[in-house]
Structure 1
Amino acid sequence: MNNGPENELSGLGEAPDADELALRRLLQGAVQDLQPSDGALDHLRRAVPARRARKRQALVGVAAAALLMGTAVPAFVHVANSGSGDDARTANAGHGEQAQGGTGSETGEIGGDTGTDTPSAGGRGTAMDQGGATPSAGDEPGAGADDGASGGTANPSGTVAANTPVCDAGQLGVASAQAASPDSEGKVYGTFRIANVSGTDCAVNGGGSIGFQALGAADPAKISVVAHSAGDAATGLPDPSQEAGTLLLKPDTAYEVKFAWVPSDTCPTNNTSPDPTPSDGGSSGANSGTGSDTTETQLVTEDTPADGSIAVTHTAEPGAPAAETTIPNACSGTIYRTGVLSG
């Protein structure tokens, strides 16, 4: 049979040389005794499908990874570029107070302030809002101030539950409204105490409003109401850091709002009617020969302070109840007020 390479190449018209034929015979003789091992065919039948399955799994994994990256990267970029939406809203620490203005007639007029240190010329204004500071366990009473009626105290450190209702007017009552005597500088400190007269807990979230009524010679254009701040003239009032933004008020407990009257001038004076009084020296002797004595008179006037006073009023945050206390000999000055304080 001519099955060898020589015959194949001969068919093509090419005859190998002797060295090439010898090399081919040598190689053929080296492998002609090689035989496949037992079970090689079965192994190949199992190995080939397994390899193909692994390749398919690898391709599926690569495709899944590419899909995941394609969806995750845009989402990450969106989150990185978006702004934070966690802007927390704090509870309003106080409520703007309104004070009424007037002209200061003899019968008394109602006055107020715009919430600055500059006295208003009357009319309605809004007093400065109270800051929401961290409440303390108790308030240091102002110099010369009266702490008011005794009773339970509010719970400034207690947590106000989200479902605790805000105190309404029917749940609150005036426990006391007092003003102390003037101190050595003429300053007058006072306290309003508002109590929970109901049987359920409620939350106080504002100090209400402080106003005034000018009586007699008091001039409402020279009276203002401002919020107490550290370092102002009302040194006897508690530090503003003791004011509570929101206060849990249990039954039979009270909170306080303190104030200080700081006069800027004394009341005007009134000139009394002149009174005739005899002269100490007098003159006596002959008068046109009549010999009668004559008595000279001297007109004396006296300045007395005009009668003026102010009635300081407080209205709780729900619009009621209202309390009032009067400061005598007060015609012009500033009323400094606090926010909600633990009673």
Structure 2
Amino acid sequence: MNHSPDEKSPAGLDSGELALRSLLHEAVRDIEPRDGTLDHLRRAVPARRARKRQAAVGLAAAALFVGTAIPALLHVSYSGGSDADPSIAADSSQAQGGATSGKGPDGGSSTSGGAGGKTSGTGQGDSKDSGQSKDPGTATGASADPSASSTQTVAACTADQLGSSSATAEVPDSAGVVYGTFRIANVSTTGCTVGGPGSVSLLAQGAADATRITVVEHAAGDAAAGLPDPSLYVPQLTIAPGSAYEVKFAWVPSATCPTTGTGSGTDSGGSTPAPSPSPTGASAASGSTTGSDTGTAAQMIRADGTVDGGVAVSYTPEAGSPTASVTVSNACAGTVYRTGVLAAS
């Protein structure tokens, strides 16, 4: 069928296009697909569509994650140095930029990082005063009381700060146990910390046998039942000016002093006994007598025939001074039980 040059086919193609189309059809007329091609297409097309759907779902999930994670990250970055307390929400300009804030010791909030290291207190009940501390970097309301319980900021007591030492001994109880107390005061104008139990020393006098006298630390259940419980000992105690601490002891005899058998007040030879050395220091104040520190004293024989003997009990603080001493009379052999540091009653 011939067509004029300007004639159009029903498909809208001119004569040249129709001729080309015919040639193409003739070129592929004998070409056929391989076996199984149709089955392959039936499987591949749905699989491809499924992969496209999965990719679309993955992109949507990634977009959702990014949309929620970025705002959260920005929020954390801008609020890294802020306080969660709603009462200082108005100070958000200080919270941003890494400024640190916290609670002051008086219950208000304190903020550092300002110019000159000044701090401000905004707790309830504060006056209109800005509350800035005179010392840079010091939080408002910090306690300056030297008797505060914290021992980290109070220096250890020195020998110059301790004084007004005293020692007392009570009368023996029904079992012959004598209880006593050492008291050491802070005579300085600043508080200090007692950092150790100190030492207790003994000195045998007269008929007392130094080899049969010992000192041990009091423990629950021992013979010195009248001493405070060991749970009351204080490892470190801060004492304010004018305050004091105590260390208690108990003399528990293990044997009585020896007797002469004459009961006449003199020795068996009839000679007059030499007088004992004069009392010293706190021993004299407590009404007890002590022997010489440099040698043995002459043994006095009392009217009941018992040879006189005694034990001088002394306490020295951890700082090395002062020393308080008291003499337990009619004591020749036994044990001194001592406590640790106790808060003065």
Which has the larger strand fraction?
Answer: 1
Higher relative CO (Cα under 8 Å, sequence separation at least 6) belongs to 1
